[in-house]
Amino acid sequence: MRKLALLCLSLGLAAAALIPAIHAADAKSIYDFTLKSIDGQPTPLSAYHGKVVLLVNVASRCGFTPQYTALESTYEKYKSRGLVIVGIPANNFAGQEPGTNEEIKTFCTKKYNVSFPMMSKVSVKGDDKTPLYQFLTSKSADPKLGGEIQWNFTKFLFDRNGNPVARFEPAVTPDSPEVAAAIESALSR
């Protein structure tokens, strides 16, 4: 039984590695993208289908870094109802996320007790912007929520079907009334 489980696991990971990279222009939703977890494992965002998803570009040395506390408490409050928060480290703003994935994971776990999924560090702005963020910031894909990421801790909220619901700029905290109302509304659909 154990050998079968290990075989399935290894085949699943191998199959995920064979998935071709999607271009932002071809994407229809966040479910079309696969990121790497903070531990380097392929993580298709389609695994979160049926959940309300809050994607947040994060950094460890930013004035907004204490938002990890509010992100974790929001996750704890709503995860049983179907919310998943996905932290996506990026070093695009003033070098505020210089660490390795291992260092980021250690920092988030020890300092903020982060238990929500964390992805590997990517670029969310510039010529090397990851395809997911090309999609999220595209004005043609989403005229209402598109636009360049201005700083760390920009938040994108998606309903249970991967449809964009809201975008919150960095100064809007995860536990603010407007974010809570948007999460509550998305969870109730």
Give the pLDDT of residue 127.
95
With tokens 């696969």, the residue in question is 34
Give the pLDDT of residue 3.
42
Q: Give the burial class of 50: count Cβ atoms within 10 A of its Cβ; 0-12 exposed, 13-18 middle, 19 or more buried.
A: exposed
For residue 31, which phi and psi values (nearest 5 degrees)? -65, -10
Residues 49/80, Cβ–Cβ less than 8 Å: no
Q: What angle do CA 172, 174, 180 make, to 5 degrees?
A: 100
Per run of 10 residues, the mean pLDDT along the chain (length 189 residues) is 40 41 71 96 97 98 98 98 98 97 98 98 97 94 92 98 96 98 97
Catalytic choice (62, 141, 165, 187): 62
Task: Write down all domains in the chain, each with its CATH number in brackets.
Answer: 22-188 (3.40.30.10)
Compute the distance between CA of residue 171 and CA of residue 150 in angstroms, rounded to an integer.
Answer: 11
Give the pLDDT of residue 26.
74
Expressed in angstroms, the distance from the first to the final Cα of the chain is 40
The question of whether 108 is a catalytic residue gets the answer: no
